[in-house]
Copies of this chain bind each other. A is one copy, B any other.
Amino acid sequence: MTDVEHQKWWGWGVEGIAFHHEDKPAFAGFVLDKVGIDLTQPGGEPPTFDEIDVPASRLGDDLGAQLRAAVGDHQVSTDDMLRVVHTYGKGMRDLVRVRAGDLPRVPDAVVYPANEDEVRAVVDAVVAADAVLIPFGGGSNISGSLTPQPHEERTVISLDLGRMNRVLEIDESSGLARIQAGGLGPDIEEQLTTRGWTMGHQPDSFKHSTLGGWIATRSSGMQSDKYGDIADITRGMRVVLPGKVVELRPLPSTSTGPSVREMIIGSEGRLGVVTEAWVNVHRVPENRDVIAYLFPNWAAGLAAMAEISTSDAAPTITRVSDANETTFSLATRKASKGISGKVGEGLFEVLRRRGWDLEKVCLSYIGYEGGTAKIRAEKSVVGKIIGKHGGIRLGRGPGSLYDQKKFDTPYIRDFLLDRGAIGDVSETAAPWSKLGQVYTTTVRAARAKFAELGVPGFIMCHLSHSYHSGACLYFTFAFPPNADDDFLGQYDAVKTVIQQSFIDAGGTLSHHHGVGTDHAPWLEQDISEAGTDLMVGLLRAADPGRNLNPGTLIPDHREW
């Protein structure tokens, strides 16, 4: 059988790793206060797999034989567990449904190709059989891009790229690497860093997402201020379509009409299967510092980030949390580490004497990379801007907490779900001039919906990426739904008002999570109906049989 490792079928990450609060003394009180959950009570357990009723595979003999001929007998699986793992991503809707055994349509087989020739054979066999192909990377998608349509009558094949995880080539003169699409973040970075290189791409999902997945969903990472979003990083690609391969050579820039590269990026499997890409790689930086700062309030933090974005400094990370997220961060700290040390020394007392409203304090992280002189100059520029907006420097110790905790957040969702609560995220981007409005209306809309549902709810936010003209705002929300009402219906109600607030205030439906099925209802509001026409026209021409991951990207009412 395949040796590709998968995430838990019922949650984020791998078996044996989970969020714990016992070493975080302030967390239980915080959770009780904000969402009314008593952590002294034992949490529920995730279901066991034998409680789940998995629909039988409908893989026919002909297609099965062709797939086995394409990739080898041992790389085609109809195993129930593997099929369930490949049914969903890790969105809140996904987790709730898989834990409940809600499996209207499960892939009929999972196929693990070893190389592009095998991918071609699989794609051609699937399309010839008028079946459906869903490419699968790390399975970390949280926008509903991986799930077969519930009423799909055709055979559904999940194409898992997990065996194609090698860095094939590094062009050291150009800072380019050719990497197979199935490589997970750690696979890729390990192969690169042993040779002194890094992609620098670090989405929250880093440990469980792949290069192909990043490309297919227009991913962005924590250090994208320096390294660029995946659309900047990806310079060339190979993409398998029925009967052919799109070959885009690595180019720093080009003027060849409508960008085919930018059509593939974000295509979520609907324009074929990315098998490998040429990506920008960089020498592991000489120095790397993350410094923590505090602002007296959110508006000051936003204004400082905006000013930094047009300054002579070019930090690798620009992040500021709102007051709620700052409180959350303090509540998840371990005893006597980082900020808590300073807090213990009476920092907050000092701030209070300075006139800060401690309910409004906002924590910020700024990352720096490069030579000593560059970092020193940038810290000086940034320090002045932060001071101008009333902020203060906490230092490198608290900054180091950033790197320690940066990939942990998704585990908290499972922790909450075990206790009957919903926790999820929604993120957007907007021009600087609109971020305040995006923030205010989104928080207000979520709170109004919590009130309407009659639940204690919590919403927090951070600015996660800065650009010349604007930034990404990343919201996290949590609440314990009413036990008597539809669990997912309550989630949908909150998620919906958040997404609508983004659009209404001038933001986009997603900065880096993609469209999938979850955000597709807002596509026409975001890129206009006529813009959606262009996208549908492109997909329809490339995949007239609608065999390639149908259902994602385009709103249902378009029937494409």
In the assembled complex, A36 has its CB within 8 A of some CB on chain B: no
CB contact list, A262-321 vs B, under 8 A: 262-268, 271, 280, 282-283, 306, 310, 312, 314
Question: Most chain-B CB neighbours within 10 Å: which of A255, A259, A261, A312?
Answer: A255
- Distance from A389 Cβ to chain B, minimum over Cβ atoms (Å): 14
Residues of B within 8 A of A247 (CB): 527-528, 530-531
- Is A208 an interface position by the 8 A CB rule? no
Closest to A313 in B: B374
The listed residue (B231, B432, B529, B535) touching A174 by CB distance below 8 A is: B432
| CB-CB contacts below 8 Å: A475-512 with B | 506-512
Q: How far is the CA of A263 from the CA of B256 in the complex (A)?
A: 11
Q: Mark A419-432, 1 if CB is under 8 A from B, else 0.
A: 00000000001111
Chain B residue at minimal CB-CB distance from A519: B256
- The distance in angstroms between the C-alpha atoms of A306 and B531, with both chains bound, is 38
Residues of B within 8 A of A370 (CB): 312
Asked if A1 is at the interface (CB within 8 A of a chain B CB), the reply is no
Q: Is the CB of B267 within 8 A of A257?
A: yes
User: Who on chain B is nearest to A431 by CB?
Assistant: B174
A541 interface neighbour in B280, B312, B528, B538, Cβ under 8 Å: B538
Cβ-defined contact, A253 with B429, below 8 A: yes
CA distance A434 to B236 in the complex (A): 15
Contacts of A217 in B (CB 8 A): 255
| Chain B nearest CB, measured from A16 CB (Å) | 32
Complex: A530 Cα to B246 Cα, angstroms:
5
User: What chain B residues lie within 8 Å of A540 (beta carbons)?
Assistant: 537, 541
Give Cα distance in the complex from A255 to B312, angstroms.
Answer: 28
Contact of A253 among B244, B506, B511 (CB under 8 A): B511
> B residues within 8 A CB of A176?
431, 433, 469
Most chain B beta carbons < 10 A, residue from A310, A430, A541: A541
User: Do B259 and A231 have beta carbons less than 8 Å apart?
Assistant: yes
Contact present for B312 and A260 (CB under 8 Å): no
- State whether the Cβ of A171 lies closer than 8 Å to any Cβ in chain B: yes
Q: Would you call A513 an interface residue if the criterion is a C-beta within 8 Å of the partner chain's C-beta atoms?
A: yes
Give A306 to B175 CA distance when docked, in angstroms: 10
Interchain nearest-CB distance for A51 vs B (Å): 35
CB-based contact A542/B533 at 8 Å: yes
* Interface residues contributed by chain A, number (CB under 8 Å): 95
User: Could you say which residues of chain B place their CB within 8 Å of the CB of A514?
Assistant: 255, 257
Q: Given the complex of chains A and B, what is the CA–CA distance between A508 and B432 in angstroms? A: 35
Q: How far is the CB of A243 from chain B (nearest CB, A)?
A: 9
Chain B residues in 8 Å Cβ range of A523: 256-257
Contact with A254, one of B256, B283, B508 (Cβ below 8 angstroms): B508
Within the complex, the shortest CB–CB distance from A531 to chain B, in Å, comes to: 4
In the complex the two chains form, is B263's CB within 8 Å of A429's CB? no
Q: Judge whether B263 and A259 touch: CB under 8 Å.
A: yes
From B239, B431, B506, contact of A173 by CB (8 A): B431
Chain B residues near A553 (CB-CB < 8 A):
257
Question: CB < 8 Å: which of B171, B253, B257 contacts A515?
Answer: B257
- The answer to whether A259 and B265 touch across the interface, beta carbons within 8 angstroms, is yes
Please name all residues of chain B whose beta carbon is closer than 8 Å to the beta carbon of A266 when the two chains form the complex: 255-259
Binary contact track A238-250/B, C-beta < 8 Å → 1, others 0: 0101001111111
In the complex formed, the residue of B with least CB distance to A370 is B312
Q: Is A43 an interface residue (CB 8 A)?
A: no
Residue among A254, A310, A538 having the largest count of chain B Cβ atoms under 10 Å: A254
The smallest beta-carbon distance between A522 and chain B, in angstroms, is 9
Q: Which of B251, B260, B268 contacts A535 (CB 8 A)?
A: B260
Contact yes or no, B528 A218, CB < 8 A: no
Does A450 lie at the interface of the complex (its beta carbon under 8 Å from any beta carbon of B)? no
Contact A268–B262 (Cβ < 8 Å):
no
B contact residues around A254 at 8 Å (CB):
218, 429, 508-511, 526
Q: Which residues of B have CB within 8 Å of A542?
A: 533-534, 537
Interface flags, A529-560, vs B, CB<8A=1, else 0: 11101111111111000000000010000000
CA distance A217 to B246 in the complex (A): 22
Q: List 13 A-B contacts (CB under 8 A).
A: A175-B469, A241-B533, A247-B527, A254-B509, A255-B512, A256-B515, A256-B523, A256-B527, A259-B263, A262-B262, A537-B537, A537-B541, A537-B542
The 5 closest A-B pairs by CB, nearest first: A537-B541, A262-B262, A252-B470, A252-B467, A174-B431
